[in-house]
Amino acid sequence: MDDSRFMRGLIADILESGGVEVVGEAADGREALSVVADVDPDVVTMDVEMPEMNGIEAVERLMAENPTPTLMLSAYTAEGAEETFAALDAGAVDFFAKPGGEVSMGVSRLEEQLVDTVRSVAGADVSRAGRRRRTEAATAATSGAAPSSPDASSAGGSTDATVEPNTTLIIGSSTGGPDAVERVVSALPGDADIRGVVVQHMPEAFTGRFATRLDDACELTVREAKDGMRIGRGELAVAKGGHHLEITSARDGRLRLSVIDEERGEGVRPSVNVTMRSAAEVVDDPLIGVILTGMGGDGSDGVQAISRAGARVLAQDEESCVVYGMPKRAAATGAVDSMLPLDDIAAGITGERA
């Protein structure tokens, strides 16, 4: 769904050539709702900026009237990031940043990535995305009741240990991750002796806004990572999009970070593997790794590295994931100590889960 006929055609051609059948098109949000109702697609791609009814309002209506996994197509800008996060709040599963702006051939350079992302979003559970789930959690917190969740199953080990002094936390996520990360970090107490890193697969123009979003939502201080930055107790750094992030030293309860603008053969930047491997080499204090919802296998090598270094590893369970790719691949390594519902992960980190 895009107001530009050129972009609709380009995206349709890319998807069709990648084996994804395109069953309908629309020029604005209002028309998109009608088309979805008529053809009942497996997945919707939705431009953020459209006339008549923009993508944000269209997603809100779509989730209320005919819930369908939706991928937002966003301009690769800071302004685009603001609007895209609003669409994720409304219930969109994930987003794809269009290089070169709203109307550009740049998207054709990322054909394989676009097709893979559409396929992953098509399999997403829309009940796990967006505002509805966060509203339930907020309502439960206000009433003093814990959010409902299924019983967790252990994949070996337990989560009954409390957070020790100078604990380093590394969280990795991809598709469905912005909402999942926010729910985890907003549930962490501000006085916990934790410092750490969030590695979310996200373009460079978006990670600064994501850090601000997390900072507003939680008791910890959250900033986008900068080269040479040092973080201590109660601080989290969000890996900069388009770059890898390494922990280069861990002394006196503080971590020093290095932002790396080079390819490391991981297929994604930032990569959870890169950050976790660096932590395994330099962090002697207690270390906790968490793998949340996401497409692909990033993090599976990293959890093995930190597990060998003595870390405790948690992963999100299948039932609460938007896309059960990264946690599944991590669990298959045997390095994950516990598989937990999303709303139990913060308690698993702090050791408060019974």
Active site members? 174, 201, 298
User: What is the C-alpha to C-alpha distance for residues 176 and 293, in angstroms, rounded to an integer?
Assistant: 6
Q: Which of 220, 199, 217, 213 is nearest to 302 (CA)?
A: 199
User: Tokens at residue 174, please?
Assistant: 């991809």
User: What is the C-alpha to C-alpha distance for residues 132 and 145, in angstroms, rounded to an integer?
Assistant: 17
User: Tokens at residue 268, please?
Assistant: 């994604």
135 burial type by CB count under 10 A (0-12 exposed, 13-18 middle, 19+ buried): exposed
330-335-337-341 Cα dihedral, nearest 10 degrees: 0
Q: How would you label 323-337 residue by residue, b for 16+ Cβ within 10 Å and e otherwise?
A: bbbbbbbbbebebbb
38-43: Cβ within 8 A, 24+ apart: 40/66, 40/68, 41/68, 42/68, 42/69, 42/122, 43/68, 43/69, 43/70, 43/71, 43/118, 43/121, 43/122
For residue 222, list its beta bridge partners.
236
User: What is the C-alpha to C-alpha distance for residues 40 and 195, in angstroms, rounded to an integer?
Assistant: 45
Which residue, chain included where needed, has tokens 């009814």? 53
Q: Which of 175, 171, 194 is nearest to 184 (CA)?
A: 171
95 contact partners, CB below 8 Å, separation of at least 6: 71, 72, 73, 74, 84, 87, 88
User: What is the C-alpha to C-alpha distance for residues 149 and 145, in angstroms, rounded to an integer?
Assistant: 12
